[in-house]
Amino acid sequence: MSSVKVRVKVDVEEWMVNPNEVLLQEAPFIFVDKIVTVSDEEIICLKHLAHNEPYFKGHFPKNPILPGVLMVEMAAQASLILTTYKQNKFKFNEDSDSKQEGYLVKTNNFTFYNKAKPGDSLKIRVRLTQNTGNYYTASALISFADSNGRVAKGELVFYLPSKEETKNVN
């Protein structure tokens, strides 16, 4: 499923934001279809699991389910979008790069409650809980968008290099 630009209600103002404009990943490794809401501390995103997603072919052919590691990746991508918003409110110009580098360094207590299958739509809710320097901790809850039944939850720790660090590496 391809991402489309969506109107995102942020506080009182609205922006047109496409997850592809914020994430360094490219298809087929984008696991956020739509940003529903975002604030400095929390983001809610959606991901629809299309029947033709490539990972369903092998996981598992007769009973396809979303791999747990991809749920963790969904939460990590939502976290990166959230911190990008927190840093610059999605106000990008020609001189600024809208895509923030980020590295997942640890996961804590990820628990998987229900199977997510082709045709399901998932709601990814991520809340920042701690920030120390360039390290962020976030709690994630992934649920079915139509019923709010829990699919997975856990905690992520990730590192966002400073602009100076990324300039020195590239």
DSSP structure string for 88-145: HTT---TTS--PPP-EEEEEEEEEE-S---TT-EEEEEEEEEEEETTEEEEEEEEEET
59 given a catalytic annotation:
yes
Q: Which of 5, 48, 59, 150 is catalytic?
A: 59
Measuring CA to CA, which residue among 159, 44, 38 is closest to residue 103?
159
Backbone angles phi, psi at 38, to 5 degrees: -150, 140
Burial of 42 (C-beta count, 10 Å sphere; 0-12/13-18/19+): middle
Q: Are 139 and 126 within 8 A, CB to CB?
A: yes
Q: Are 156 and 107 within 8 A, CB to CB?
A: yes
- Which residues are the active-site residues? 59
